A and B are shown apart, each in its own frame.
Chain A
Amino acid sequence: MKIREITVGLVGNPNCGKTTIFNALTGARQKVANWSGVTVEKREGRLRHGGVSIRVIDLPGIYSLTSYSMEEIITRDFIIDDRPDVIVNVVDAGNLDRNLYLTTQLINIGARSVVALNMFDEATNKGLSIDTEVLGTLLGMPVVKTVGTRSIGITELVERIVQVADGTCETARHIHIPFGDDIEAEIRAAQELMRRDETIGRRYSTRWLSVRLLERDSDAINKLKAFPGHEVILERVAKGRAALERQFDDDIETILSDRRYGFIAGAVRESVRKTAPRRVDVSDRIDRFVTNRYLGFPILFLFLWALFHLTFALGEYPMGLIESGVRHLGLVVERLMPAGALKDLIIDGVIGGVGGVIVFLPNILILFMGISFMEDTGYMARAAFIMDRVMHTLGLHGKSFIPLIMGFGCNVPAIMATRSLENRQDRILTILINPFMSCSARLPVYILFAGAFFHTHAGTVILSLYLVGIVLAFFSARLYGMIFFRGSSTPFVMELPPYRIPTLKSTLLHMWDRGSQYLRKMGGIILAFSIIIWFMGEYPKSPDITREYDARISAVRDEGARELEKARAGGAQAESLDELGASYIGMARELEMQKAVLEKRNTIIGRVGEMLVPLTAPLGFNQQMGISLVTGFVAKEVVVSTMGVLYHANIGNGNGAEGQSLDRAIKRPEYGITPLVAYTFMLFVLLYVPCLATVVVMGREAGWRWAFVSLVYQLLLAWTVCFLFFNAGRLLGF
Chain B
Amino acid sequence: MKLEDETPGREDSFESTDLSANMEDYMETIALLASRHRVVRVKDIARALKITMPSVTAALGKLREKGLIHYEKYGFIELTDRGRRVAELVYRKHSFLRRFFREVLGMERDSADEEACRIEHHLSPEACRRLYRLVEFHDAEHGAENEWTGRLQGILEEGPLSELREGQSAAIVRVLGDSPLRKRLMDMGFRRGEKITVVKYAPLRDPMELSIKGYHLSLRVEEARDIIVRPLERGRHRRRHGRE
Tell me if chain B binds chain A.
yes
Q: Is A253 an interface residue (CB 8 A)?
A: yes
**Contact at B209–A496, with CB atoms within 8 Å?**
yes
Q: Would you give the shortest CB distance from B131 to chain A, in whole angstroms? A: 30
**Contact at A492–B220, with CB atoms within 8 Å?**
yes
**Contact at B202–A388, with CB atoms within 8 Å?**
yes
Q: Is A581 an interface residue (CB 8 A)?
A: no
Binary per-residue interface labels of chain A (367-402) against chain B in the complex, 1 for a CB within 8 Å, 0 otherwise: 000000000000001001110111010000010000
Q: Is A680 an interface residue (CB 8 A)?
A: no
- Pick from B200, B206, B219: contact of A291, CB under 8 Å: B200
**Contact at B184–A257, with CB atoms within 8 Å?**
no
Pick from A94-102, A228-236, A543-551, A716-724 the stretch touching chain B.
A94-102
- Residues in A with CB closer than 8 Å to B185 are 493
Main secondary structure of the interface of A (DSSP, over half): helix
Q: Is A725 an interface residue (CB 8 A)?
A: no
**Contact at A495–B215, with CB atoms within 8 Å?**
yes
Q: Would you give the shortest CB distance from B204 to chain A, in whole angstroms? A: 4
Q: Is B125 an interface residue (CB 8 A)?
A: no
Q: Is A491 an interface residue (CB 8 A)?
A: yes
**Contact at A257–B191, with CB atoms within 8 Å?**
yes
- Residues in A with CB closer than 8 Å to B203 are 291-294, 296-297, 386
**Contact at A97–B184, with CB atoms within 8 Å?**
no
Q: Would you give the shortest CB distance from B181 to chain A, in whole angstroms? A: 4
Binary per-residue interface labels of chain A (84-101) against chain B in the complex, 1 for a CB within 8 Å, 0 otherwise: 000000000011011001
For the complex, give the distance between the alpha carbons of A254 and B192 in Å.
Answer: 9
Binary per-residue interface labels of chain A (251-265) against chain B in the complex, 1 for a CB within 8 Å, 0 otherwise: 001100110010000
Q: Would you give the shortest CB distance from B226 to chain A, in whole angstroms? A: 10
Q: Would you give the shortest CB distance from A552 to chain B, in whole angstroms? A: 68
For B, the interface residue count at a CB cutoff of 8 angstroms equals 30
Q: Is B6 an interface residue (CB 8 A)?
A: no
**Contact at B183–A253, with CB atoms within 8 Å?**
yes
User: Size range of the interface on A?
Assistant: 35 or more
- Residues in A with CB closer than 8 Å to B209 are 287, 291, 385, 496
Question: Given A68-B180, A496-B218, A296 and B202 touching (CB < 8 A)?
Answer: yes
**Contact at B219–A493, with CB atoms within 8 Å?**
yes
Q: Is B61 an interface residue (CB 8 A)?
A: no
**Contact at B206–A63, with CB atoms within 8 Å?**
no
How many A-B pairs with Cβ below 8 Å? 111
For the complex, give the distance between the alpha carbons of A392 and B222 in Å.
Answer: 11
For the complex, give the distance between the alpha carbons of A494 and B207 in Å.
Answer: 10
- Pick from B187, B205, B206: contact of A68, CB under 8 Å: B187
Binary per-residue interface labels of chain B (174-200) against chain A in the complex, 1 for a CB within 8 Å, 0 otherwise: 000001110111111101100000011
Question: Given A98-B215, A392-B220, A494-B217, A386 and B202 touching (CB < 8 A)?
Answer: yes
**Contact at A389–B189, with CB atoms within 8 Å?**
no
Q: Is A66 an interface residue (CB 8 A)?
A: yes
Identify which of residues 210-242 in chain B touch chain A, using a CB-to-CB cut-off of 8 Å: 213-220, 223
- Residues in B with CB closer than 8 Å to A258 are 191-192
Q: Would you give the shortest CB distance from B56 to chain A, in whole angstroms? A: 47
For the complex, give the distance between the alpha carbons of A345 and B214 in Å.
Answer: 63
Q: Would you give the shortest CB distance from A375 to chain B, in whole angstroms? A: 16
Identify which of residues 66-121 in chain A touch chain B, using a CB-to-CB cut-off of 8 Å: 66, 68-69, 94-95, 97-98, 101
Q: Would you give the shortest CB distance from B199 to chain A, in whole angstroms? A: 8
- Residues in A with CB closer than 8 Å to B179 are 491
**Contact at A98–B207, with CB atoms within 8 Å?**
no
Identify which of residues 302-346 in chain A touch chain B, using a CB-to-CB cut-off of 8 Å: none
- Residues in A with CB closer than 8 Å to B206 are 388-389, 392
Identify which of residues 491-521 in chain A touch chain B, using a CB-to-CB cut-off of 8 Å: 491-498
Q: Is A64 an interface residue (CB 8 A)?
A: yes
Q: Which of B188, B206, B207, B209 has most A Cβ within 10 Å?
A: B207
- Residues in A with CB closer than 8 Å to B218 are 381, 384-385, 388, 492-496
Identify which of residues 277-307 in chain A touch chain B, using a CB-to-CB cut-off of 8 Å: 283-284, 287, 291-294, 296-297
- Pick from A254, A284, A492: contact of B223, CB under 8 Å: A492
- Residues in B with CB closer than 8 Å to A297 are 203
For the complex, give the distance between the alpha carbons of A494 and B181 in Å.
Answer: 12
Identify which of residues 705-733 in chain A touch chain B, using a CB-to-CB cut-off of 8 Å: none
- Closest A residue to B182 by beta carbon equals A253
For the complex, give the distance between the alpha carbons of A101 and B179 in Å.
Answer: 20
For the complex, give the distance between the alpha carbons of A390 and B184 in Å.
Answer: 24
- Pick from B181, B191, B207: contact of A385, CB under 8 Å: B207
Question: Given A98-B213, A492-B223, A257 and B207 touching (CB < 8 A)?
Answer: no
**Contact at A257–B187, with CB atoms within 8 Å?**
yes
- Residues in A with CB closer than 8 Å to B219 are 491-493
- Residues in B with CB closer than 8 Å to A64 are 183-184, 187
For the complex, give the distance between the alpha carbons of A253 and B216 in Å.
Answer: 24
- Residues in B with CB closer than 8 Å to A388 are 202, 206-207, 218, 220
Q: Would you give the shortest CB distance from B155 to chain A, in whole angstroms? A: 15
Closest 10 CB pairs of A and B: A64-B187, A389-B204, A496-B216, A491-B181, A63-B187, A296-B203, A492-B220, A389-B206, A98-B189, A97-B213
Q: List 18 A-B contacts (CB under 8 A).
A: A64-B183, A94-B214, A101-B189, A253-B183, A258-B191, A287-B199, A291-B203, A294-B203, A296-B202, A297-B203, A388-B202, A388-B218, A389-B206, A392-B206, A392-B220, A492-B218, A493-B217, A494-B218
Residues of A within 8 A of B (CB): 63-64, 66, 68-69, 94-95, 97-98, 101, 253-254, 257-258, 261, 283-284, 287, 291-294, 296-297, 381, 384-386, 388-390, 392, 398, 491-498
Given contacts A257-B187, A495-B216, 17 further A-B contacts (CB under 8 A): A63-B184, A64-B184, A69-B184, A94-B214, A95-B213, A97-B214, A254-B186, A291-B203, A296-B202, A381-B218, A384-B218, A388-B202, A389-B205, A392-B220, A493-B181, A495-B215, A496-B218
